Amino acid sequence: MSVTRIAVIGSGPSGAYTAQLLTEESESPVEVDVFDKLPTPFGLVRYGVAPDHPRVKSITTSFAEVFEETPGVRFLGNVHIGTDLTIEELRARYDAVVFAHGAPLDRRLGIPGEDLGGVNAVREFVSWYQGHPDQAVDAFVLDGRRAVVIGVGNVALDAARMLVRTPEALRLTDIPEHVVESFAGSTIDEVVVIGRRGPAYAKFTNKEFIELLEVESTDVIIDPADLELDAEQQAVLAADPAARRLVATFQKAAERGSLGRDKTIRFLFDRTPAEFLGDADGAVTGIRLVQTSDPTVSETLEVDLALRSVGYLGKPLDGLPFDERTGTIPHLDSRVVDGDEVVEGVYVAGWVKRGPNGVVGTNRKCALETVTSLLADLGERDGASTAASADEVDDLLRSRGVQVVDWNAWRAIEDAEIATGAAVDRERIKLHVREDMLQVAADAPEPLGSPEPELAGASAHA
């Protein structure tokens, strides 16, 4: 029986679940090559999930089993789809291709002053503190007094919490030491989180808000006047128990008020950002907010750092249809469609399919839908697989000078991170700079039991 070969683009939660489910659900043999443009696997679990949420991050243990222990599943890191391999080349070499590369762009506010220095997408800030190789190690200098975070989703809360964490708490995470030192030297003592609608519409979860109240060094301030809800918000609470619980916790926070702690996170609701103000050097100095329910009322806050946390967006890829409005690839039951036409053999999973929402586990159900459609289509196919072999794919990448980071090379990067942490009594410290990762990958010892190099043929990467 010929082996079906499938390419998955992206090794984050949706890609990892897709690879796992393809091998579990298929009744005939399948091989899955999971590509990632980064030299590291796990996508947003490594670079998105907050570093002080180790329980959520520990899902990497089960994703690692997919890559390490499932026969036929390979990780091919540091491969850019679109440049190292085009989409046409992929489609010609695999029986099916699943795009699960997430939502790497950010929504903008579309207001004056958004390009001033010090106004950033929250993704840039998150990527920096998580040690993402596409962010410079010195991308953020935290030398102002007040930061504002625009948006009231879980990502906004993560960023606000990281801005007030103590160095001791940060050293329990895996973030790079230079990032810990930047936070330790931060002079920012107030973070203002801004919601454009009332508190009943806050998108973050009660659990994450309670966690914020428990950050030992920080006061959480909510103006009781912001909790006087209009009829519309009352109706939201009546219909939605989660909103009810969250607003009840807001009430407790408002009653608690200031405990005289070093830092403050202040929430403002019903405020629409109207413009950022800047100085002669092009650096942000303030933000003008307009009361959403009464636009004749406005106020200006002094600001040293502004993070817009108003949602992520997918990215168009050459050769694939894209819906600019939703920032997703259009699909029917996970089959990519161009107008009314199904693009044969091409599927989507995760945020690029359904938009940037849900928690890590949401991606399992989403990937199962994708795998179900894909396997049904393969079941109806005439004839055997026409896919290229794993060696042929490796040969092509090698001929183009691509340094593929395979699972063994990734393990070497992991070992280096654990060793770097152990040297300073931390569990692990992430490597931040791509060249450092690629050097460690290039020097990775061959895994025990692998063939002698001269006998290994075309299978060695990195």
Interface positions with ligand NAP (CB under 6 A):
109, 150-156, 158, 195-197, 201, 203, 208, 273, 309-312, 356-359
Backbone phi, psi, residue 34, to 5°: -100, 115
Q: Residue 203 or 428: which CB sits closer to ligand NAP?
A: 203
User: 31 or 158: whose CB is closer to ligand NAP?
Assistant: 158
In whole angstroms, give the CA distance from residue 253 to residue 247.
10
Please report how close the Cβ of residue 204 comes to ligand NAP at its closest, in angstroms: 7
Q: How far is the CB of 317 from ligand NAP (least distance, A)?
A: 21
Please give the C-alpha separations between residue 289 and each of 117, 118, 120, 383, in angstroms, as whole numbers: 19, 17, 17, 63
Residue at 438: amino acid letter: L
Shortest CB 199 distance to ligand NAP, Å: 11
Smallest distance from the beta carbon of 208 to ligand NAP, in angstroms? 5
Q: How far is the CB of 273 from ligand NAP (least distance, A)?
A: 6
Residue nearest to ligand NAP (CB): 153
Q: First CA to last CA across the chain, in angstroms?
A: 31
Q: To the nearest whole angstrom, how small is the minimum distance from the Cβ of residue 144 to ligand NAP? A: 21
Integer-rounded Cα radius of gyration of the chain? 24
The bridge status of strand 96-99 relative to strand 4-9 is parallel
Q: Supply the DSSP string of 323-367, one letter for each residue.
A: BTTTTB--EETTEEEETTEEEEEEEE-THHHH-S-S-TTHHHHHH
Task: Report the alpha-carbon distance of residue 54 to residue 36 in Å, rounded.
Answer: 23
Residue 72 or 199 having the CB closest to ligand NAP: 199
* 365 CB burial (10 A radius; 0-12, 13-18, 19+): exposed
CA 9 to chain centroid, in Å, comes to: 15
Which of 51, 273 has the CB closer to ligand NAP? 273
> Which of 39/356 has CB closer to ligand NAP?
356
Closest distance to ligand NAP from the beta carbon of 250 (Å): 14
Between 233 and 309, name the residue whose CB sits nearer to ligand NAP.
309
Contacts of 141 (CB under 8 A, 6+ apart): 182
CA distance 6 to 374: 10
Q: Is the Cβ of residue 72 or residue 151 nearer to ligand NAP in the bound state?
A: 151
Closest separation in Å from C-beta 194 to ligand NAP: 7
Nearer to ligand NAP, 274 or 337 (CB): 274
Question: Residue 53, class by beta-carbon neighbours within 10 Å (0-12 exposed, 13-18 middle, 19+ buried)?
Answer: middle
Among residues 161, 206, 149, 136, the alpha carbon closest in space to that of 50 is found at: 161
